[in-house]
């Protein structure tokens, strides 16, 4: 199918670099109605929301916080600031942490690789604090990095006060923001994300099991993180990959450990049952030629920055129509990466996806005569 079978030229308004899911909620088959404070089901590749309840409501994330703790650690490893072979000194503060622990001992040094397993698999609060201190000197400085990364990821309704998820009135996030973080972890650090699928880990003679019960129920589930406090309820971020389609489910404020697993499984089954995801274009694909005025070239290739995926109701992929809108008033100079238009995918009359088009090359300003003649041509275009 020629998905881009129609070109429309129009004025360009404010656009986003991210795929924008635009299916109206009532266009989808009715999703599950679950007794939890907040939940969200999203396709990993396209970012399309498939089912939701209070997804933008501020909530207490409990140990789901450790997704961001891990994300900051992964960046520190990537940048070479720390190493998996580092020995992490266990402070008295880390040793005294309550809640879930990996049971490290004060004054001991533990390999960072083991501490990371304790953080992700055991959800150790002691591991979170010790790692924060090792990387940033103290937990407060580490939390500042957590909040910096939250801003970079566009987590606009999130603020962290600690590295563990310990209850605090200034420690909050939303299901929507958790999805942003989860997508970043899976996409950017697949080698570390594998830890989230490990079912058990032993340290200091104590074997503990991953609290994500879906790892035992469903072989397609490979993460992500549980959380629980009295005030937050039972929480679970889960992800499942079947064939080339991956879904992310966020369940917050369930009433029991069983319900958070049951509800999360119900969301995942709903998504795989009723929807399908397809890759339309690779990153860097040229989708159009944009007209450039007053430059050394008359046109510039317009394309996409990231891989372009579409998620639609099952059986609707072949019915999709595509169009492009290009800005008709672009004057040189044009830099590579400048916005020049958008690609739109429609299912009938419903817009289901949008993605911005950017210049894939640069165009310098033309000479005096080029500017004069193009100014005249532009008036009549």
Question: What residues are labeled active site?
Answer: 63, 66, 123
User: Where are the alpha helices (H) located in the chain, listed in sequence order?
Assistant: 66-78, 92-95, 112-120, 125-136, 139-152, 175-188, 190-193, 214-217, 257-274, 368-380
What is the DSSP pairing of strand 320-326 with strand 299-303?
Answer: unpaired
Question: Which residues lie across from 313 on neighbouring strands?
Answer: 275
DSSP H or E segment with residue 305: none
Can you point out the beta strands (E) in the chain?
6-9, 20-21, 38-43, 49-53, 87-89, 109-111, 200-203, 206-209, 221-229, 233-242, 245-254, 275-281, 286-293, 299-303, 308-313, 320-326, 330-331, 339-347, 350-359
Tokens of 321: 């129509």
**Cα–Cα dist 360/340, whole Å:** 10
Q: Which residues touch 198 (CB under 8 Å, ≥6 apart)?
A: 117, 120, 121, 210
Q: Which residues touch 369 (CB under 8 Å, ≥6 apart)?
A: none
DSSP for residue 353: E
DSSP SS3 for 367: coil
C-beta atoms surrounding 38 within 10 Å: 24
């Amino acid at each position: 199918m020629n998905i881009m079978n129609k070109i429309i030229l129009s004025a360009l308004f404010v656009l986003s670099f991210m795929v924008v899911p635009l299916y109206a909620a009532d266009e989808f088959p009715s999703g599950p109605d679950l007794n939890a404070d907040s939940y969200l089901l999203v396709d990993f590749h396209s970012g399309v929301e498939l089912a939701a309840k209070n997804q933008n409501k501020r909530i207490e994330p409990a140990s789901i916080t450790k997704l961001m703790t891990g994300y900051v650690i992964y960046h520190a490893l990537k940048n070479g600031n720390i190493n998996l072979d580092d020995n992490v000194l266990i402070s008295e503060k880390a040793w005294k942490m309550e809640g879930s622990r990996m049971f490290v001992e004060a004054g001991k040094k533990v390999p960072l690789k083991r501490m990371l397993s304790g953080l992700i698999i055991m959800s150790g609060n002691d591991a979170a604090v010790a790692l924060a201190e090792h990387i940033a000197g103290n937990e407060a400085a580490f939390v500042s990095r957590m909040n910096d990364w939250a801003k970079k990821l566009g987590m606009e309704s999130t603020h962290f006060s600690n590295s563990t998820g310990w209850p605090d009135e200034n420690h909050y996030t939303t299901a929507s923001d958790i999805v942003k973080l989860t997508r970043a972890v899976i996409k950017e650090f697949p080698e570390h994300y594998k830890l989230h699928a490990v079912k058990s880990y032993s340290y200091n003679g104590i074997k503990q099991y991953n609290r994500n019960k879906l790892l035992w129920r469903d072989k397609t589930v490979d993460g992500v993180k549980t959380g629980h406090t009295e005030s937050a309820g039972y929480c679970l971020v889960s992800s499942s990959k079947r064939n080339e389609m991956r879904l992310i489910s966020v369940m917050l404020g369930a009433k029991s450990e069983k319900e958070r697993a049951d509800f999360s499984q119900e969301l995942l089954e709903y998504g795989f049952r009723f929807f399908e995801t397809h890759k339309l274009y690779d990153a860097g694909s040229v989708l159009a030629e944009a007209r450039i005025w007053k430059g050394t070239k008359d046109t510039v290739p317009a394309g996409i920055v990231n891989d372009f995926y579409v998620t639609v109701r099952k059986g609707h992929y072949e019915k999709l129509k595509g169009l492009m809108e290009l800005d008709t008033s672009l004057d040189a100079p044009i830099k590579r990466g400048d916005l020049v238009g958008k690609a739109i995918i429609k299912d009938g009359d419903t817009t289901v996806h949008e993605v911005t088009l950017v210049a894939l090359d640069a165009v310098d300003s033309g000479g005096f005569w080029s500017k004069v003649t193009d100014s005249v041509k532009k008036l009549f275009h």
